[in-house]
Structure 1
Amino acid sequence: MNSAPRIGVFGLLGSGNLGNDGSLEAVLGHLRSAHPDAVVDALCGGPERVAARYGIPATRLHWNRAEYRTASRAGAVAAKGLGKAVDAFRTAAWVRRHDVVIVPGMGVLEATLPLRPWGFPYALFLLCASGRLFGTKVALAGVGAGPIGNRLTRALIRRSARLAAYRSYRDARSRDALREMGVDTTGDAVHPDLAFALPAPPAGPPTGTVCVGVMDFHGSDDDRARAEQIHRRYLDGVTRFVRALVEDGRPVRLLTGDACDGHVVTAILDAVDSPLVTAAETASLADLMKETAAADSVVATRYHNLICALKTGTPTLALSYADKSDALLDLMGLGAYVHPAREVDADRLLVQFRELERHSAELRATLAERNQVVSRQLAAQLAALSAALFPATHSLPAPAL
């Protein structure tokens, strides 16, 4: 590779999920430091947003713009079918133009949220198969994985992982899950989530504010039959918890992590109806970190809401909907502060929250220590990623994070 390396980034990026975009931002920061001559572009869900925000050319992931809408009419079903065929050629042509394609973080090997096999799992398979066909290295860098019930989805994920030239995971449970699916993970690395590479603002003075991160939560892909029941219980429990905080005179700041979470915020604001409850407007993980850095404590559901709070050293309690949240809290020394998102019990959650606040000072010290360790681990992993994917002539030492 004598010319500048041609690098592609791939995924549901620019589609409204702040965590996905944060992983992209971390990888782009590394590429610009370690491989400043690289030519980078994206195949992604929201190309307009990615191009405007990150200054790289971007192409739409799916030919059919209605790919993730439910198709009930014959014309819509036919368009989806045609789109699958067109995407096979589009993806192959895009991959062929690159030396390396990186899938930056994200839970691309899991089904903790509802998904269909012919959606993103199929797109990921097309990517990895095209990479193998044309000799383009496909790297699944710092991704999440988990048990998958649907047989077709599991088969696509397993095959994609086997075809990838490089794999690393954001926690050991992800690596274990992929191994249990029949993938040889010998030599695959585990490291902290890529979003920990992003800079964090300094903590502010105590304000009494509690950040509560909410989610349009309906269970996992295996919970479709009782999705509405799960959502109602989650919303009721979180609303009761927020109301209890307000009754104690605590200001509450509602956070989201995806465009779809807005109606949950609206429902809580309407139900509690207090000037002490406000909603933050966030467009990036940097915005989320500013909110969590200014809070006394955080109770959150979305995985990257948790990362932002932990990165800023704020005592955090997870409303956990998947093993990845439990693993994250364990990594950062707060494994005792986890509550099930599927069965939110406002009274028990309030007890856990008060326990969190009683130990606030020691938890902040723990987080400061763990964040230093995580930064060193992630810097080493990014250097290893460069060494695995690029010739030495294009590799520079990874920057200190």
Structure 2
Amino acid sequence: MSGPRVGVFGLLGSGNLGNDGSLEAVLGYLRAQHPDAVVDALCGGPEAVTTRYGIPATRLHWYRGEYRTASRAGAVVGKGLGKLVDVVRTAAWVRRHDVVIVPGMGVLEATLPLRPWGFPYSLFLLCASGRLTGTKVALVGVGADTIRDRPTRALVRRAARLAAHRSYRDELSRDAMRAMGVDTARDAVHPDLAFALPAPRGSAPEDGRGPVCVGVMDFHGGNDDRARAAEIHRRYLEGTTRFVRTLAEDGRRVRLLTGDACDAEVVDAIIAAVDSPLVTAAEATSLADLMAETAAAESVVATRYHNLICALKVGTPTLALSYAAKSEALMAGMGLDAYCHPAREVDADRLIEQFRELESRSAELRETLAERNADATRRLEAQFAALTKALFPKSPAAATTATTPHAPARQETP
């Protein structure tokens, strides 16, 4: 007999390393606990997903220009037609599965610029299709925030209500969904899925002191900052550049990290402005690569959420250039809440002061991170045990997993 048919869904293979890391964690769980599962994907970058992970994948959108601005009549018509075609495509894909998993990612948030007819619409189609076809749709370890834009909030709320199972990567996310009218009484909170990935061993630097990893981002603010996006980006870039220049002038080696393909322009701008052989760019193509870079570092200063996770996972003292409450919640959970700095208002002098304090407490903070990582591992094991019972109740793994304090979410009336 063939195993369960499992689909994975999201903006996967599209250049965002955090999204792909969440997928990798879920695939690791499926291969370890449910090796007979037949897995495929509906995603943003199907070619990349198939090449990297060896599973069949289908393009998320029928219209290939979905992520380009529609400035001509033909493009507008194409996008509109694509939304209708995707209703049928999504439902047909969902009904071929027993379970569909949305692995992590900030699918219920709008901390970065987002249009309601983009991914929120796609997520709604997925969850509605699951309800109509009887396929379980599980939002596993996802991020959420309270969304102000009414159309986006309506789509996200309805999608969450239609899902058969929900769990979140922090309390902040669960609280946000509750504030938006979703019954979260039976929804669980666990560490981000990326903490389930194996951590590499740090490589000892030749001179006895590692570089400083600085994770940068093509940051223009969030969904509510569109009117001042250019100003936010300018201040972020200027402050980060000055910080990197100060490190180089102090004789420190700096490794610039990214988390999405769009961040390359920021790396190029900083390297050109600082103009020092001590400042180099890492060529990371996965969270494993980012973890290897941060494991070899003396300390890390980073903006992107999953840059932070990689550094914290390997136990390197880290300072967050925080662009959303999720970063602050993550840092607090790992015992580093004193080391957050606002990405929208980068003050280079204050940032340097915080950084020097961070390094002065390096040994103490490494011990704290080791303890918090051990706890995260235990909590994620409970998450996967609960997921097996919720989604694969007839599997042998479900009969042997320990009972967890959280029951799977019940389906709600939309």
TM class by shorter chain equals over 0.9
For 1:88, the aligned partner's letter is: V
SS in 2 for 1:7: strand
Task: Tell me if the contact between 2:2 and 2:36 (Cα under 8 Å) persists in the aligned partners.
Answer: no
SS in 1 for 2:235: helix
Q: Following the alignment from structure 1 to structure 2, what is the Cα–Cα distance between the partners of residues 246 and 78?
A: 51
Quick one: which of 356, 381, 384 aligns to 1:382?
384
For 1:268, the aligned partner's letter is: I
Aligned equivalent of 1:337 = 339
Q: Following the alignment from structure 1 to structure 2, what is the Cα–Cα distance between the partners of residues 385 and 10?
A: 16
Q: Following the alignment from structure 2 to structure 1, what is the Cα–Cα distance between the partners of residues 279 and 176?
A: 39
SS in 2 for 1:221: coil
SS in 2 for 1:212: strand
Aligned equivalent of 1:317 = 319
The alignment covers a number of residue pairs equal to 398
Aligned equivalent of 1:116 = 115
Q: Following the alignment from structure 1 to structure 2, what is the Cα–Cα distance between the partners of residues 213 and 170?
A: 21
> Shift of the alpha carbon at 1:3?
4.4
Aligned equivalent of 2:129 = 130
> Shift of the alpha carbon at 1:373?
0.6
> Shift of the alpha carbon at 1:398?
6.9
SS in 2 for 1:64: coil
Q: Following the alignment from structure 1 to structure 2, what is the Cα–Cα distance between the partners of residues 292 and 244?
A: 20
Whether 1:271 and 2:270 are equivalent positions in the alignment is no
Q: Deviations over 1:155-206 (max 9, x none)?
A: 0000000000000000000000000000000010000000000001123334
Aligned equivalent of 2:96 = 97
Aligned equivalent of 2:409 = none
Aligned equivalent of 1:238 = 240
> Shift of the alpha carbon at 1:272?
0.1
Task: Tell me if the contact between 2:213 and 2:293 (Cα under 8 Å) persists in the aligned partners.
Answer: yes
Q: Following the alignment from structure 2 to structure 1, what is the Cα–Cα distance between the partners of residues 359 and 138?
A: 41
Aligned equivalent of 1:299 = 301
Q: Following the alignment from structure 2 to structure 1, what is the Cα–Cα distance between the partners of residues 86 and 358?
A: 48
Change (3 A) 1:285 1:377: same
Alignment gaps of 5+ in structure 1: none
TM norm structure 1: 0.98
Aligned equivalent of 1:354 = 356
Whether 1:163 and 2:162 are equivalent positions in the alignment is yes
Q: Deviations over 1:12-43 (max 9, x none)?
A: 00000000000000000000010011000000
Q: Following the alignment from structure 1 to structure 2, what is the Cα–Cα distance between the partners of residues 133 and 84?
A: 18
Q: Superposition RMSD on alpha carbons, in Å?
A: 1.1
Q: Following the alignment from structure 1 to structure 2, what is the Cα–Cα distance between the partners of residues 393 and 167?
A: 20
SS in 2 for 1:115: coil
Q: Deviations over 1:81-121 (max 9, x none)?
A: 00000000000000000000000000000000001000000
Aligned equivalent of 1:29 = 28
For 1:273, the aligned partner's letter is: D
Q: Deviations over 1:312-340 (max 9, x none)?
A: 10000000001110011011111110000
SS in 2 for 1:110: coil
Q: Following the alignment from structure 2 to structure 1, what is the Cα–Cα distance between the partners of residues 17 and 321?
A: 18
Task: Tell me if the contact between 1:64 and 1:83 (Cα under 8 Å) persists in the aligned partners.
Answer: yes
Aligned equivalent of 1:280 = 282
Q: Following the alignment from structure 2 to structure 1, what is the Cα–Cα distance between the partners of residues 63 and 222?
A: 25
Task: Tell me if the contact between 1:382 and 1:398 (Cα under 8 Å) persists in the aligned partners.
Answer: no
For 1:161, the aligned partner's letter is: A
Q: Following the alignment from structure 1 to structure 2, what is the Cα–Cα distance between the partners of residues 91 and 220?
A: 28
Q: Following the alignment from structure 1 to structure 2, what is the Cα–Cα distance between the partners of residues 9 and 184?
A: 24
Task: Tell me if the contact between 2:16 and 2:261 (Cα under 8 Å) persists in the aligned partners.
Answer: yes
TM norm structure 2: 0.95
Q: Deviations over 1:347-383 (max 9, x none)?
A: 0000000000000000001111111010010011111
Task: Tell me if the contact between 2:219 and 2:233 (Cα under 8 Å) persists in the aligned partners.
Answer: yes
> Shift of the alpha carbon at 1:391?
2.0
Percent of residue pairs identical? 78
Aligned equivalent of 2:253 = 251
Aligned equivalent of 1:70 = 69
> Shift of the alpha carbon at 1:257?
0.2
Task: Tell me if the contact between 2:62 and 2:85 (Cα under 8 Å) persists in the aligned partners.
Answer: yes
> Shift of the alpha carbon at 1:393?
2.6
Aligned equivalent of 1:183 = 182
